Amino acid sequence: MSIYMHFRQEEHEFIDQVLEWKETVNEQYAPKLTDFLDPREQEIVQSIIGSNEDVKVRLFGGAEGAERKRAFLYPSYYSPSLDDFQLKAYEISYPEKFVQIEHRQILGSLMGIGLKRSKFGDIHFHDKKVQLVIGEEVSSYVELQLQEVGRVKVSLQDIPLSELVSPEAVWEEASTTAASLRLDVMLASIYNLSRQKAQLLIGAKKVKVNWKVVEQSSFECREGDILSARGFGRSKLLTIDGKTKKDKWRVIVGKQK
């Protein structure tokens, strides 16, 4: 039975990459460290490597509840340590008495210096502290280049990984019904929007499913999908519970608090 059957068409390319990593570790008998993966990619890696006898996998993103993590694939004889993940943590210092910086501004500034999203992990906010996890291989470049966020001067302080504060995601459950599992219909039901408003958000590339921008309103949602719409937060389709007498889908949704 084909491994691809369990995954969406658009995930096949990533699956090929994971199979290639696995093959390389197997053949060269040497470990392989990936860039940062989003939770859906982590899930795919774990399901493909799974309970393989020869190749094992560990995931780590710097802190216990990290969302983005690097995967470390290794031969069964190898005993991995946290150093193998090659992570560096920083605290971003800025004049917080006078100005507030936001997640999207830090994201924009990192991408603005030419950094790919896969080269850095979570951006943590705790009280007024802002913390950042990046791959060791780009750390000296980031230290040199990241001098402003928005228009605010910033500086980076090296901190040990043990000082990272990663808040656990809390999901508030609610049930809803939807006429179909199309993305525009699901967004309208979950966030109490008109279907037209949902379609506008999708068309403006403001909607992600499993951390990837989706531009088709007709995209079919599945159980376990994480949806996010800019300005409306994140939600998860916890269970799709069959249909009501009026032929609507009964869905249990978790909304991130």
Q: Give 87-163's CATH code, choosing from 3.40.140.10, 3.40.630.30, 3.30.70.330, 3.40.190.10.
A: 3.30.70.330
Count CB atoms within 10 A of the CB of residue 151: 7
CATH of domain 171-256: 3.10.290.10
CA 114 remoteness from chain centre: 19
Please say whether the dihedral angle defined by the alpha carbons of residues 32, 36, 39 and 41, taken in this order, is positive or negative.
negative
Taking the model in full, what pTM does it have? 0.85
Show pLDDT as tens, one digit a residue, over the chain (257 residues): 578 877 888 899 999 999 999 999 999 999 999 999 999 999 999 999 987 788 999 999 998 889 999 999 999 999 999 999 999 999 998 887 777 888 888 989 999 999 999 999 998 887 778 899 999 999 999 999 999 888 889 999 999 999 988 777 778 899 999 999 999 999 999 999 999 999 999 999 999 999 999 999 999 999 999 999 988 989 999 999 889 988 999 999 998 86
Give domain 3-82's CATH architecture. 2-Layer Sandwich (3.30)
